[in-house]
Every structure is written in structure tokens, then in C-alpha cells.
A and B are shown apart, each in its own frame.
Chain A
Amino acid sequence: MCSLALFPPLTSGQTTLCESNNELLSGSTNTEDPLKQDLIPLSLNFPRESLKLHSRTESSSKAAFLDHSETLWMRSAAAWRDGGLSGLLNEITTSHAEVPKWLSVTSGCILALLRWASSFHGSLFPHVTLSSEDMIAEFSQVLNWPDCVVRAFAWHPHTDKFAVALLDDSIKIYNPKSAITPTLKHRLQKNIAAVQWKPLCASALAVACQNCLLVWHVDPCSLSTRPSSGCAQVLSRPGHSPITSIAWSPSGSLLLSASPMDTAMMVWDVAAESCVPLQRVGGGGVTFLSWSPDGSHVLASTPSALFRVWETRMWTCERWPCIKGRCQSGCWSPDGSRLLFTVQGEMVIYALTFTGTPGLPTSSIKGPQAAVVVADLSETTFKTPDGDIIVGGEIQSVSWDPRGERLAVLLKGDPQAANRPAVIAVFKTRASPIFELLPSGFVQGEPGTEPRLMQFHPNFRHGALLTVCWSSGRITHVPFYFLSSSLPHVGLSGSPPLPHPQERHADFSSQLFTELIS
């Protein structure tokens, strides 16, 4: 089993640039270097000051108007519209001077009963008492989501474009092949928790928002920088909000959405705008979804110490109760046979192995009997010139590169303690003869910045490319150059060209992901 003690030591004050010859190279951070800025066209920076944030919430405009007494009917209608049944009951109870006594007493009783029931529900599932934003922050894969400038990030599964969701509820789409960066804004696009591109499609982007699910259709040939909100499909269902996680099926036909408030997860047929709820007893909601790359399984974690693995042929599920806490994050191996997941409150990575060929009837797929611990990420102290730095602890998210060779783990750290930063630990993974994780190194950003969000590029040809969004609002790409063991090596001599930064610079200077090594 791998642990952090085996990792190469942290280098203080240096930014990780790339992996080459099996080791992570880092360089001094000199962001003012104009040459370097040119070479990394997709390293974006979103300074917090540049975003126009909503200074006021909409409800606060009420204070600017004079109080106007309306009739009871009007107020009741408004209360029904704004607050539903409990709002209406509350309105009737408070205006007891105008309504018959029996009505106000009855509604008061019903209201008390409702409150008692909801507090009971809240004691069973504490997360239902959270506000929408707190809930997204709690269950998001992004570290410290409320404070993040970049709230969500998604590479297109087939091309080199990506979407970035920002703190000001806008989404920008960057494409290296075009100078146009469309900005997507929509009235309902608030508190974006996740974005994902539809596979086998050039244009569709699903956005998980606070109250609904939006599916944008951004025409890649369009010259418009502000696609109208008519390009977005709004998918919503009462009770299914806030949405914290979405997952497209790898075949591009279905979209899953999950909300911690809704015990059912929704399977959307986006074109027909219809959905099928999949509901099972227990859990109290669904927080995180991950569809295996071969499309055969879906991981669905719940706010309580329980997660489910759905099989996608007949949509049956296996229950996996955890001992300590809820399943925080998870990722699948490229062939869909292995699931790595982490549990809140534990500092280890578990693995589940699904044997059996996908596609056979479900009865023949033998599920695993127990999860195995594959890595221990408990706290380890590294000595640096600046003092001791403690790395390790709870895990925010895990991500596996599409070839199954590198595993990136985002460690939470402790925001209060200066010497316990959040870092990304990268493992090499090996499937044969036995599955194991080998230490690779830490990915560090500029001094004073923390990683918030990470994602691997879905089809990087020279190895793996990890995109990291930092707390400063910067997005950088860290390439891992290696030759995949699973792919046949091209070339007559059989010896692969050694990954050498300078050479590569010459070769791929027109490419996107070149880093200059100082």
C-alpha cells in the first residue's frame, strides 16, 4: 500500500511544470516572463477583481419600497406563490385579525405539525437544513466552493475546448482554434455546481444550477459571443434542487442529475425533455455521480454513510454502506472494472473491483465483496527550508487520467493552519500483475495559492494533462509526458522518443500544451 511518506519531498516556492522522465519538474515562478505567457495560451487568469459580482440579492430590493397593505386574498396568493403551503399557512396564521378564528387556529396547528415533521426529517438527515449554497459547498467536488473564482471546469471530451464557470454565474467557452470566447449567461444560471459536455456531440453543455439543469447548445461555428438564452434548454422538476452533480452517459444518450434534497436521481432524455426518477430507500438524497467510462456502472453517493453502484442495463443497484462517513468522491478506471473512492473522515483511498464482462446479464456480473484500501494519505511532515509542512488528511476529490496511468488526489489541508496547505498528490497506477499505486509527486502552484479543482484532459496524446484551477483564479495545465503501457508503441526501432522538454518544444511549438523549462 502506498503512503505519502514515500513521496518525493515538496519543493518550496516552485511551481510544478510537467512530468518528464518519470519525475515531476518544477521551476521558479516568474509569471511576468512575457515569453512564457505567450507559450501557454490556455493558461487563463481570472482575477477576482475583474468579475462583477452581484452586490445585492434580489429580495433585498423589497426594502426600497413602501409597505402597502393588500387584501388578504392577494397576500395569500403571493404567499402561496413564494412559499408554497407553509408560506400560505404562515400568512393565514399571522393575519389572525382578518380571518375567522377557526381558520387561523387550524392553520397554526398544521404549520406547527409541518415544522415538527421537518425538524424530525432534519434530525435524520442534517443536510436538509442547509441553505442551497451551503449544500452545494458541502457536497461539491471543488474545494471551498463559495470562495472559488472558478466554480466549475469541463474539457470537451473530443476536442481541445473547455468551459469555465465563474463566480459571477457566467460560463466562458475557450477554443484554441477560434478567437471567439462565447459567454453564456442565463436568468436561471445561478450557483453553478458542475458543468459537463455531452459526449458524441459538438455543442451541448449541461450546467447544474441552483434551481434547474440547463443544457446549452453552443454552435461551434457560430460567431456570436453572447449566445441568447434561447440556446439553452431548461430542465427542472419540482423538489429536485439544488443540483450538485451531473453525469452524461458515455454514449451521449442520457444525462443523470442528482440533488441532495431529492432521494431520486433523475435520468434525463434531454432531447425529449423527459425524465425518469430512480429512487431507492435510504440515504436522504444523492450528492455525487460518476459514470464509468465504459458506460456500465454509475457511482451515486448519498449524504449519509451509504453509496450505491448502479448497473446501467436494467438500472438495479448495489448498496455500499460505509462505516465512517459519506462517500466524498470517486473515479473509475478506463475499462470500468475498478472504482476508487474516498470516504469523508477517512484518509485512505478504497478500491472496488467489478469482474465479469460488461454486457452480460446482470446476474453474471459478480460484484465485489469488500472494498480494499489501496493508499494511505494520513498526515506526513516534510521538511522544507521554510519550515515543516504537513501534507495529508482528508481528500476532496480524486481524478484518474483517461488512460488509467495517473491518479490525482486533491487533499483538503487545513485553511486555518499555514503549514498545512491543500495540495494535489499524483500517483502512478499499475493494473498488472496486481493493482497498485506508486508515488509520483506533488503538483504545486505559485506560492500562496491553493488548488481548488482539477480535471484530466480526455484525450491528450503524449500522456496525461492535468488542468488545475487555483485559488488565485488562475487555470494552469500540467502535462505528464509518458508512454502508455497499454497502447502499442509506434516506431520501427521500438524505442520511444525520450520525452525531452527542449525537443518537444521544437516539435509541438504550435501545440497548446507546451511548457518552457527554465
Chain B
Amino acid sequence: MMFSTETSCWFIRKVICWRATASIAWSVLLLPPTTAVFVILSRFSLFHPFQTISECLSLLMSASSVFSLILLGGVIIMAGFLTLEYYTVIPTIACSKIALLGQLLHPRQFINSLAHCLMGIIVGWCCAITIGCRYEMLGYPCKNSDGYPQMCVNEYHLIILLAGAFVGFSHSLLGVIHNINYISFQTVQQYKYFRFKGSLPLVVMCSATQAFYSIKNYVVLYFFLGYIPRAWICKTLNLHLDSSIHPLDSIAGLLDLSLLYHLWISATFLLFTWYITLLLFRIFVTEVYTFPVQSSFTEDSHQCLPKVITEKQPMILKFLALQDLALLSQHSPSRRSEVFSLSQPGGHPHNWNAISKECLALLADLTQRLVAYHETVATNGRAKTLSNGSERKISSETSSTEDMMSPRPTFLMKTPTSVFARSVGRSSQSPLTIPFTPDLDSPFASPALRRLAAAPEQGSPWHGSVQSPHVMRKAPKLWSTSTADSLFNGSPEPTPASVPSPKKEATKPSFLVQFLQNRKEQLPEASSQALFADSQAHIWALEGLSYLVQASFTEDQFGVVQTTLPSILSSMLLLQEAVDRHFKLPHASSKPVRSTSTMGDSTYKTLRFALRATLKTALYRITTTFGDHLKAVEMSAEHRKRLQQFLEYKE
């Protein structure tokens, strides 16, 4: 354990931190041109184009704009740090609406939102300074009705500051919903400059549309509630309202096209700078890192691929190692030969053994997870519900949000990058063989899953217990009629527990409980997504294994791969079987709706399809390479039959 934290420190310190720093530095460098474009767009006047440009140039040289540039640079650095702090390679998928609510209300998320609010205010202030004219100052001298001079509040300045805060806040909330902290890896390797260039139009479009919707909501909100912050500011800063001009929270005040345009362009500028920071961070962090396969120095051995790939701790390290494995197996004969090589004294294929063992463990883990999930869900694709589920007290509000995301990959809870559990080397729950909610006392955990996590007691037929009225009501709507039948026919093995007690029937769940129960219900597709949330690792493991096996046909001099070939084939076929069964569930094969104009990466929604395709291709890659030689491989009759299907191209 000590050793592993040391290694992770090595990687985080030496690679991730530098990459993050480089990305932040680039986004700060990109700030002056972005600001210049913003200045030109915000002050542009159609009738005096040359005058505008000269004005803009002089403005950009002024001290105030230099000061606001420094401030903006600070904001960018802050945003970069937040991205580094909150990024994750395994998305946190809320399986029910209430779990999503829990995510939004989590203290960690609250801090994030608050920080974004503050940063939004700062950017708003910079925008107000830059646009100038009526937006520039918060207070201005005016005369009250009696003619006495006093300081009045400048509502235009205020509205821009608040817009910044609102956009920042909504950006942070939408970030949770769209999983903006999730970092996906590209299927195609490109140099950083080309990736950046290719994504730039998307960033511009996303920030413009996102700013439009945010400002729309903000204007509506300001119309109804704008007087509250205005009164507060007036009170705290001892400013007055100018009675001679219209207040802005009226229809006439808000229907000012130039004001709306300035709000929108400011929000676009704000979101653009943040999105650029995020984009650069993503590009830098997911860049391929080449680990050495073996090292001649023992002190470097912990940095070698076979060692690194088995690490659990920084998830990003494991992912980069697997990515490197997939690439080396595909493209690099010299590094492949190192994988197939034997250790110098002893002649053991340590490299291959370590790599294949880890890949097979990953595949076995996924298979087990799928089988366990398949056992818990009813044929309708929803989690089976227990009778006492609806009667649980919804009392303890302070529950760990860990369990809200159920079902979850086994090492999701161990990742420091998951939104809520960030502490390197923190002692996590014992690695569960069952990938579901570990915290059984939580009110959010689905009862069926809770039962699964508890030891399977064969004596108590849980499916025989009485169904909640909620489920009874739902029964006719189910996809499969057989489940409905079994609900009403009762249990096949009647036990005392299964006899519905009239008292239980009498206690109808209260409206609130039922409402919460409804919200708590698993979203079927989300649970399927959550099951495959970390499948990028499995995809690389499959690719790496299959390419290595393919290459071993000609390149493996000592026959080290041959010894593992039966277990590779059998674990792939087992996984294939489990995946096929999973896709028979009604929700699993439904395609998610593509959201185009968000910066949130929706790759995780389709990972299960990618895994299915990769698995099939990997099996075909092996069968096509080895052909009839596979008949000499030992395996069970069932697997042989399945493999024959692949050999005949009938899958």
C-alpha cells in the first residue's frame, strides 16, 4: 500500500501536474486575443467601424484593461485548478432523479458552485469595465427629489455582475448534469494543436448557445426577483435609487436590445474562456504517455508498464497505461517484443504474465458485474423492489452520497477523481465482488440492491414477499407479462414472511414517501450506463490482448502467449455471453439521445455499444489469425461451439 501511494505520487507529481500547468499556461496565453475579440465585438458600431477599432486599440492599451486582464488571468488559473481538482475519467452517473439531486446538493459541489459564482462576478466586473460607457461604475452621483446630490446605484453595472454570477452558477450546475468533469479518451490519436483546432468551432458554438439559454433564464429571473439584490446593494453600500430613470426589472427596462446583446456577449466570453481552459486540460491530460515496458534499473521498475497497469490508485494512471498498452500492441513491434521477452535470469515471461493477468482480471470483473446485475434486475429492466422499500423512513438526510450512484463499478469508489471521493490513498470499502451499493443504511439505496449487497441468504425467498402497492400499480405497464403473473400468483415457496399481513396493507405510504419512492426508482438506461461507466479500460484491455495475441502468431519466439491463450479465449467468451445477455434487457440497446451543443462529453453513454463491438472484433481478430489452429486449444465444449460460430463468421 505504501508503495502504491508512492508510485501514484510519482505520476501525479511528475506528469499530471505538469500537464495541468501547461494547459493552464496555454489558456492564460490565449486570454489576450480572446479579450481583444470580445472588446471589438462588444463595442462594435456598424456606422463607425474605423472609429471603433481605434477606440478598441486605445482601450486595450489602457491601465484598466491591463488590470482586468490580470484579474481574468487569475480567474483562468482558478478555473484550471478547479478542473484539475474535479476531473474524473469515470463518470458519476446518477441512476435516479433523487441521486442527481443529491449530487447537486453535495457540499463539494456546493463549494464548486460558489467558486464559479465568485469567478463569474469577477469576469462580469471585467466585462463591465471593458464595455465601458453606462456599465462602468457601480455608483454615480445624482440628485434626489429635493435636489441634494447623492450617490445612486448604477443598475447596468449591477445587472452585469449578477449575470456573471448566475452564468457561473448555472455552468456549475449544468456541469453536474452533463458530467462536464468527465474526461473521455479519443479513439483517434492526434497532435494537440490539431485536436485544439478541430474542437475550437464546437467550443465557440457551445459557449454561444449556452450563454443564450443562461441569459434567457437570467433575464426572466431578474424580472421577478431583481429588486432583492438591488435593495440589498443599496442598503449595504448606502446607495440610492435614481427615481428619474426606469428600474431595469421592468419589461421596458429589459427590452433594451443593446443591454441584452451586451449580457449575451459577456456570458459568451465568460463561458468561452472557461471552456477553452477545460478543453486544453482535456487535451493535455489525455495525451498518450509512453511507459517503458521494462527497465534495466530496478529503481525505475515501478514506472514500467507491467507494474503501472496493475495500480488501482490514480485512475488516470491506470487508464493511460491501458491506452499505452492498446497502442503498443497495435503499432509497435519493438515494444511488443519486449512484452513477449523472458526475464534474463530465470527465463520467466514476467511482463506478459503481469499484463495478461491484469487484463483478464479487468474482463472477469466486468463479467461478474454483468452477471450480478442481471440477477438483480427483473425482466422488465428495473431493479426488483422489496416490500419494505416503500415503508422505509426517510429520516436520515445526511447520508454518504457514495451510494447514490448505484450500480457502480467496483473501482469507482476508489478513484480519487470521482466527484465526491477525492482523497488519495483513502481506505475504501473492501473491494466488493458485487458492484452495487455498499452503504446499506442509506435511504437512497434501492432495496433490491441492498439485498444483493447483503449476503445472499438462500432461506428467505425475498421475491415471495409482498410487493409494494407502487409496484402492484405498475405491473400492467411492464414489458413482460410473465413478471406480472408472478407478482399476483405469489411466491412459489410460501413462507411466513410472504403472507401479506392486513396491517401492512392498511398502512398506505404517505404521499411524500411515495413521491420519493418514485424519484428513487432506477432510470433503467442510466443503470446500464453506470454499469459500463469505466468500460474504456475494458475496451483497451480487449484491444491490447487481441492485438498481442494476433502479433504472437508471428512474433512470439518463446510461445509465452500460448500458455494463456485458453484463459484469454474463455474469459472473452464468458464476457461475450454476459454482454449478449445484458443487451437482451429492454433498455440496454436503446440509443441515448445525442446532445450536440454541450461541452459535456457524452461518450460514456455509448461505451456499452463500443465495448460490445470491440469484444466481437477482438474475438474475430484471434479466430481469423489462428484459424483452425484454435481446435488444438483446450476449452469447454460450449465455448468450442461458440468459437466455431466465430470461425464460420456467423456471429
Contact = CB atoms under 8 A, between A and B. Distances in A.
Interface of A: 156, 158-159, 200-203, 220-221, 251-254, 267, 269-274, 276-279, 313-316, 357-360
B368 interface: no
Contacts of B614: 253, 271
Interface stretch (B4-12, B303-311, B617-625): B617-625
A494 B617 CA distance: 37
B591 A316 contact: no
B596 to A, nearest CB: 9
Contacts of B77: none
Given A200-B617, A201-B620, A202-B649, A357 B333 contact: yes
Given A159-B649, A203-B651, 8 more contacts: A158-B624, A158-B649, A201-B613, A251-B330, A267-B187, A274-B603, A274-B606, A359-B333
B511 interface: no
Contact of B191 (A277, A314, A359): A314
A313 to B, nearest CB: 6
Interface in B148-202: 186-191, 194, 197-198
Nearest to A203: B651
B616 interface: yes
A182 B587 CA distance: 28
Contact of A254 (B187, B594, B609, B621): B187
A315 B594 CA distance: 26
B650 A220 contact: yes
B331 A313 contact: yes
A252 B187 contact: no
Nearest 6 A-B pairs (CB), nearest first? A271-B613, A272-B606, A200-B620, A202-B649, A271-B609, A271-B610
Contacts of A252: 617, 620-621
Interface string B538-551: 00000100000000
A276 B188 contact: yes
Contacts of B191: 314, 316
Interface residues of B, number: 33
A272 B617 contact: no
17 contacts: A158-B649, A200-B621, A201-B613, A201-B616, A202-B649, A251-B617, A253-B614, A267-B188, A270-B613, A272-B603, A272-B606, A272-B610, A273-B594, A276-B186, A277-B198, A278-B190, A314-B189
Interface string B587-627: 00001001000000001001101101110110011001000
A315 to B, nearest CB: 5
B332 interface: yes
A129 B585 CA distance: 49
Contacts of B334: 359-360
Contacts of A220: 649-650
Contacts of B188: 254, 267, 276, 278, 315
A104 B591 CA distance: 43
Contacts of A278: 188, 190, 194, 198
A360 B333 CA distance: 8
A253 B617 CA distance: 8
B187 A269 contact: yes
A200 B188 CA distance: 19
Given A158-B624, A251-B621, A359-B331, A276 B187 contact: yes
A120 to B, nearest CB: 22
Contact of A314 (B190, B606, B650): B190
Nearest to A177: B648
B304 to A, nearest CB: 20
Nearest to B619: A200
A253 B187 contact: yes
Contact of B610 (A221, A269, A316): A269
A203 B648 CA distance: 12
A159 to B, nearest CB: 5
A210 to B, nearest CB: 22
A365 to B, nearest CB: 12
Contacts of A357: 333
Interface in B453-495: none
Contact of B606 (A201, A203, A273): A273
Given A251-B621, A271-B610, A272-B610, A315 B189 contact: yes
A357 B331 CA distance: 10
B189 A201 contact: no
A267 B187 CA distance: 9
